[in-house]
Amino acid sequence: MTAVLPLTVKENSNSGIWSWLTTVDHKKIGTLYGISGVIFFILAGAEALLIRTQLAAPNGTIISANVYNQLFTMHALMMIFLGVMPMGAAFFNWLVPLMIGARDVAFPRLNALSFWTFLSGGLLLTSSWLFGEAPDVGWFAYAPLTEKAYTIGKAMDFYAAGLILLGVASTIASLNFVVTIINMRAPGMTWFRMPVFVWMIFVVAWLLILSLPVLTIGLVQIYFDRNFATNFFNPTGGGDPLLWQHLFWIFGHPEVYVLILPSMGIVSEVLPTFAKKPIFGYSAIVFAGLSIAVLGFAVWSHHMFTTGLGPVPSIVFSASTMAIGVPTGVKIFNWLATLWGGSIRFTTANLFSIGFIALFTIGGISGVMHASPPIDTQQQDTYFIVAHIHYVLFGGAVFGIFSGFYYWWPKFFGRFLDEKLGKINFWLFFIGMNLTFFPMHFLGVQGMPRRIYRYDTDLGWDMWNQVASIGSYMLAVGMIVFLYAVWKAYKTEPNAPDNPWDAPTLEWATSSPPPEHDFDVIPVVHDRDPLWYNRDNNIVQEQVTDEHIHMPPPSYYPLLLSIGLLVGGIGLLTTLIISFVGVLLVFYAIWGWVLEPTS
């Protein structure tokens, strides 16, 4: 269907900086998330390259121990909170309304607020580099290292304030998308006709809603310990460092699924399209996702086996961790069965998705290995764990995200990413990632600890470290190829048809790129694969519309409110008077927000 823009649509000015600052359009917000996510992803990748360069040869001399500590801490924080999560957010902002046949999210202004608050938190956290105060105690920030006595400067205050802001942003976004998915579905879009991607986002949003408040409390307690001399986590004052570990991992483990589930959703959309088959075992995949959501809250202590929890908790958490491997395995078999017997097209998007299955399976299997406490005791804090998390996060989450980039780019921007460059990108990533992270399994088993900034030459770790570093440069080259493909696409004329891949889901029913109001006519859904159903039953979507489409007007209050929160955060790092100014700004923005007409 070609986009016939009805004249009755109230057009808001669509270009210029101001339109981006005040936008409440889920597609523009998705693009903003995507751009910031990719930039932070590149910065965090650059940090990793520095780490790999330092470790390429024994007794590296490029960076000091102190900077090294900051690098691995910030690499993790930025990849997780500022790279992968916002890139996932870019997809769910763009796609959830389109996939469920809605014109926007339930609360467009809250959606803008979550982006600007995310950016505030991201800038606050990364600005710690500029003051030489980047957090350097690992992204998990174990007490009592975070206490004033051990981290003197402001680094941990940056950590606490930045993550609180990022948590607020994610909570707002999650609340918004849960309500959107529950309440904004098009006629006929029943729960079990929703695309798997939407289901996965529903699960992710619930995980964040229920886990982030626990982290927030932990961060507040760190902040109080450091600034108001309380002793929540300081053992010399009667505090309990393990309390922090519990609070952190009650958030931290669901967070792992927050990172991977959007990519699992993307893969579940890409594979059926390019196998020309409906997804195999739809309900099994959905229920697997839901059981991951439940079990995800019952496995956190497997990060703490070496703290001496005692036999009973160790057995319970070991069992629940092995159990969570089952729904994950169910998904993998479903994806394989989706491919089985299909007429497969090896596009770049599909290659990334197939790569996802292979690499994620490797990471998943090593994950089940350290679900066993005695094995984990051997592997804890070695490079084996580093290998594991990068197989699930890079081979899993990032491969899924890149699959999504190549798949939906024509829908988002009306232009294809070059397939030839895409395939170069894929192979550089695939080979580079295996070169970088597979040797880390060997290094880990040989006993190389994590987070050491140099190692001696007689330990037998030289060769595999060198291989890993070469692999990391291949990943960097792959990223440059991707950026060149983006640049090339940007320079071409939009030429993408509405449904170039012959995909089954609703976002392909509208034009590429979609109009501001997404759909001229809200589609009616008859089947789980609506566009294939329409194609096979010769149902043509109604073209004409005379209804008045009302889109919410732009608003600058979300931006203002986020600036207020940012000022509040800066106050936490300097003096509380500034925080007070921030609170006033927040109140003013809420006041204007509430009284602002929305029609």
> In this chain, which stretch among 100-108, 315-323, 374-382, 439-447 interacts with another protein, using CB under 8 A?
100-108
Residue 128 touching another protein (CB under 8 A):
no
Are 138 and 72 spatial neighbours (Cβ–Cβ below 8 Å)? yes
- Number of C-beta neighbours around residue 547 at 10 A: 10
* 186 vs 354 by CB, closer to another protein: 186
> In this chain, which stretch among 122-130, 169-177, 273-281, 321-329 interacts with another protein, using CB under 8 A?
169-177
- Nearest partner of 426 among 359, 357, 348, judged by Cα: 348
Residue from 41, 107, 408, 455 binding another protein (CB under 8 A)? 107
Residue from 36, 70, 93, 176 binding another protein (CB under 8 A)? 176
Residue 495 touching another protein (CB under 8 A):
no
- Number of C-beta neighbours around residue 282 at 10 A: 21
Residue from 71, 87, 89, 106 binding another protein (CB under 8 A)? 106
By CB under 8 A, the residues from 233 to 252 that bind another protein are 237-240, 243, 247
Distances (CA, A) of 28 to 25, 111, 218, 488, 515: 5, 11, 34, 21, 11
Q: Cβ 446 to another protein, closest distance in Å?
A: 39
Residue 212 touching another protein (CB under 8 A):
yes
Residue from 216, 273, 321, 403 binding another protein (CB under 8 A)? 216
Residue from 12, 19, 127, 231 binding another protein (CB under 8 A)? 231
Q: Cβ 163 to another protein, closest distance in Å?
A: 15
Residue 589 touching another protein (CB under 8 A):
no
CA atoms within 13 A on the CB side of 7: 0
The end-to-end CA distance of the chain, in Å, is 29
Q: Cβ 184 to another protein, closest distance in Å?
A: 5
* 230 vs 372 by CB, closer to another protein: 230
* 239 vs 444 by CB, closer to another protein: 239
Q: Cβ 110 to another protein, closest distance in Å?
A: 8
Pull the structure tokens for residue 585. Answer: 């700004």
Pull the structure tokens for residue 108. Answer: 């467009």
What distance in Å separates the CA atoms of residue 479 and residue 220, rounded to the nearest whole number?
37
- Nearest partner of 526 among 546, 509, 544, judged by Cα: 509
> In this chain, which stretch among 155-163, 217-225, 274-282, 420-428 interacts with another protein, using CB under 8 A?
217-225
Residue from 48, 90, 99, 102 binding another protein (CB under 8 A)? 102
Q: Cβ 583 to another protein, closest distance in Å?
A: 11
Query: What is the SS3 string spanning 240-296?
Result: CHHHHHHHHHHHHHHHHHHHHHHHHHHHHHHHHHHHCCCCCCHHHHHHHHHHHHHHH
φ/ψ of residue 449, rounded to 5: -75, 155
What distance in Å separates the CA atoms of residue 306 and residue 301, rounded to the nearest whole number?
10
**Residue in the block written with tokens 């769910």:** 92
Q: Cβ 121 to another protein, closest distance in Å?
A: 17
Residue from 4, 35, 182, 294 binding another protein (CB under 8 A)? 182
Are 68 and 492 spatial neighbours (Cβ–Cβ below 8 Å)? no
Q: Cβ 320 to another protein, closest distance in Å?
A: 19
What distance in Å separates the CA atoms of residue 244 and residue 264, rounded to the nearest whole number?
30
Are 120 and 573 spatial neighbours (Cβ–Cβ below 8 Å)? no
Residue from 69, 73, 111, 211 binding another protein (CB under 8 A)? 211
User: What are the start-end ranges of the H helices in 539-575?
Assistant: 557-573
Residue from 129, 140, 142, 224 binding another protein (CB under 8 A)? 224
Cα 451-452-458 angle, rounded to 5 deg: 140
Question: Hey, CA dihedral for 292, 294, 296, 299, is it positive or negative?
Answer: negative
Q: Cβ 138 to another protein, closest distance in Å?
A: 21
Residue from 209, 316, 524, 539 binding another protein (CB under 8 A)? 209
Q: Cβ 106 to another protein, closest distance in Å?
A: 4
Q: Cβ 393 to another protein, closest distance in Å?
A: 25
By CB under 8 A, the residues from 357 to 386 that bind another protein are none
Binding-site size, another protein (CB under 8 A): 40
Distances (CA, A) of 553 to 23, 26, 175, 190: 8, 13, 21, 29
**DSSP track, 307-323:** G---HHHHHHHHHHHHH
Q: Cβ 567 to another protein, closest distance in Å?
A: 19
What distance in Å separates the CA atoms of residue 338 and residue 329, rounded to the nearest whole number?
14
* 171 vs 350 by CB, closer to another protein: 171
By CB under 8 A, the residues from 535 to 554 that bind another protein are 550, 552
Residue 178 touching another protein (CB under 8 A):
yes
What distance in Å separates the CA atoms of residue 117 and residue 128, rounded to the nearest whole number?
17
* 329 vs 552 by CB, closer to another protein: 552
Q: Cβ 317 to another protein, closest distance in Å?
A: 18
Contacts with another protein by CB under 8 A lie at 102, 106-107, 171, 175-176, 178-179, 182-185, 209-214, 216-218, 220-221, 224, 228-232, 237-240, 243, 247, 550, 552, 594, 598-599
